[in-house]
Amino acid sequence: MRRVRPGVLLAVGGCFVAADVGLLLAFGRAGTEYGLRFGVDLYILQIITVLAFLAGGYAAFRLRPGNATGVLMVWLGVVAAVNDSAGYLLVTTAWPVVVLRTVAVLFVPVQWAVAIHIVLAYPTGSLRDRTAAATVRACYAAALFGPAVSLLGRHAPLCGRCPATLALGLISTTMARRLETADVALWAALITAGLVVFARRFGRASARERRILAYPAGAVAVGAVVVVAFLVQVVLARGFGIRLQLPLAEAFEVTAALVLPAGFLLGLLRERFEEARVSDLVRQLAVTPPQALSSVLARALGDPDARLVYAADSGYLDQAGRQVEPAGHQRLTPVGNPVQPTAFLLHDRILELQQQLVDAVGNAVALALDNARLHAEVLAQLAAANASRARIVEAADNARRKLERDLHDGAQQRLVSLGLGLRVVQDRLAGADPDTLALLDETGQQAKSAVAELRDLARGIHPAILTQQGIAAAVEQLTLRCPIPVRRHIANLDRLSPSIEATAYFVVSEALANVVKHAQATAAAVTIDCADGRLRVRVTDDGTGGAAAVPGGGLSGLADRVAAVAGSLTIGDLPDGGTSVAADLPCTPA
């Protein structure tokens, strides 16, 4: 049945539709008295039903050529088109009309079989479980039973001039009526069975599968309720003489015409909507941190349980590092390089029907992962470079501290001893000639100057007071040495890490040196405080302003030094004249 090309089927269906429209035009005007068994609107609805299934089925076939659902829907349209002529009284006994009418009546049960086939094979178009396959086979078998009864019995025409269907008249009319009632009951049972199979499948479906089944399930539920009610009404009327007279035929036609094809088509169309979700995903990936990828791709795949997993020795790990055991209904699709995949999409089996969607999501995720990896690498390299820069500064500080100690313990110590020794010699040579004494005195002064120069040199290399007493005392000493008055606002600080203390000290020292050299200031101020884990050091003056960090200059070197300990240096003019040099450093405790 599926080997017939849908285009051909569509043409055949179109011919029958044309015939139905012709019949409606021919008999519609005659009204119920003459040609129509029911109201005109019912016939119009019938034609719409046929067109809906033909068009919807063909659209579904074009969207998913590998999926048999579309072809089955076209078949249902064709069968329904054939059936439609059974609804007319057809007031003529011409033999083509008799044949048409017979074929129409014989094909009525086939539409039930095809409809159930579509529902149970949805959404793949193939029957994958044995119960469903058995139910569909039973339906096609039952579709032979009703026509067989019709052919064997003898049908009273619906009106005096109406054509009877072709029949052999081998069984009595009473017997035929009984068998027909049994046939209706059989269909009620089969449809119920199909419904149970479908409901069971829906109940067992994964979240993802349920989303696909939701539209057809809603449509089928509505249709099934109407059909079962209709059949029950028929059985009650024929078997027990109870006539309910509910407008179920009309309700069924509306359901069949609009709800069912729309439900199935919408279900299949979801894939098209899902491609829009892939573009959403790509947009979201730009702002999604890698650890949140799973939730974004679950949304894009329409599978709440979908996530990103990584191959590990012991199985699969999710992004939080938890062990993941793929469930029976789940499949793994490699992400990125398919030869040596490191990451996989764990998703519902049903998504295998939409390989394009899964591939698109996989590629987008692969890009995001690559991006995240490069980002992490760059960050790691940056962190390594920063750490190495901080270590270089620390090593330099340590070297300077050691140099200062060596100067102090060595040359300085000896020079002081030398000075003292000269004093002792001076004492002992109290009566010597004035020339010798003057020479001694001069030599003593030289030693004293040398000691002073050495002290200044040592302090410039690394201030001992910073090592001994910390930043507050060292800055206080700096301000006291400054030739212009400097106000101090120094918070009560605990000892900080040596490299932070040294950096803060050199900021103040370099800034004050600049003030004295260039600013023509009359006063300066130093502020140091620690808040929110940041040490803020600020030196301001009331001078001419215009200071800037020129490459190779003292302030530029200072900026480098500050950056090396993950701080920042801001140099700027104050609104009412003067310069501000501000450093923002981590307030790292010692």
Partner 1 sequence: MKTDGMADRATRLARRVLEPRGYEVAGEAAGRLGALAATHVLRPDLVLPDVALPDVDGFAAADRLAARPEPPVVVLVSIRPGSDYGGRVDRAPVTGTR
| Residues found near partner 1 in the complex (CB under 8 A) | 408, 412-413, 416-417, 420-421, 423-424, 427-428, 455, 459, 463-465, 467-469, 473-474, 476-477, 480-481
Smaller CB separation from partner 1, 352 or 456? 456
Tell me how far, at minimum, the Cβ of 400 lies from partner 1, in Å: 15
Cα 469 from Cα 349, distance rounded (Å):
70
Residue 343 DSSP SS3: strand
Distances (CA, A) of 338 to 281, 318, 347, 358: 21, 19, 17, 14
Tell me how far, at minimum, the Cβ of 294 lies from partner 1, in Å: 57
Cα 195 from Cα 358, distance rounded (Å):
31
Smaller CB separation from partner 1, 340 or 468? 468
Tell me how far, at minimum, the Cβ of 439 lies from partner 1, in Å: 20
Smaller CB separation from partner 1, 417 or 568? 417
Tell me how far, at minimum, the Cβ of 480 lies from partner 1, in Å: 7
**Cβ contacts of residue 554 below 8 Å, gap of 6+?**
510, 513, 514
Distances (CA, A) of 86 to 2, 24, 33, 79, 401: 26, 12, 17, 12, 108
Contact 252, 191 (CB under 8 A): no
How many residues does the structure list for the chain?
Answer: 590
Tell me how far, at minimum, the Cβ of 494 lies from partner 1, in Å: 16
Tell me how far, at minimum, the Cβ of 535 lies from partner 1, in Å: 19
Cα 355 from Cα 331, distance rounded (Å):
12
Smaller CB separation from partner 1, 478 or 539? 478
Place of tokens 């068998």: 179
Q: Where are the alpha helices (DSSP H) in 241-292?
A: 248-254, 260-285
Smaller CB separation from partner 1, 173 or 417? 417
Smaller CB separation from partner 1, 64 or 401? 401
Smaller CB separation from partner 1, 190 or 502? 502
Tell me how far, at minimum, the Cβ of 476 lies from partner 1, in Å: 6
Contact 129, 141 (CB under 8 A): no
Smaller CB separation from partner 1, 464 or 516? 464
Place of tokens 């890490």: 497
Cα 72 from Cα 141, distance rounded (Å):
17
Tell me how far, at minimum, the Cβ of 450 lies from partner 1, in Å: 13
Q: Where are the alpha helices (DSSP H) in 482-588?
A: 498-514, 554-564
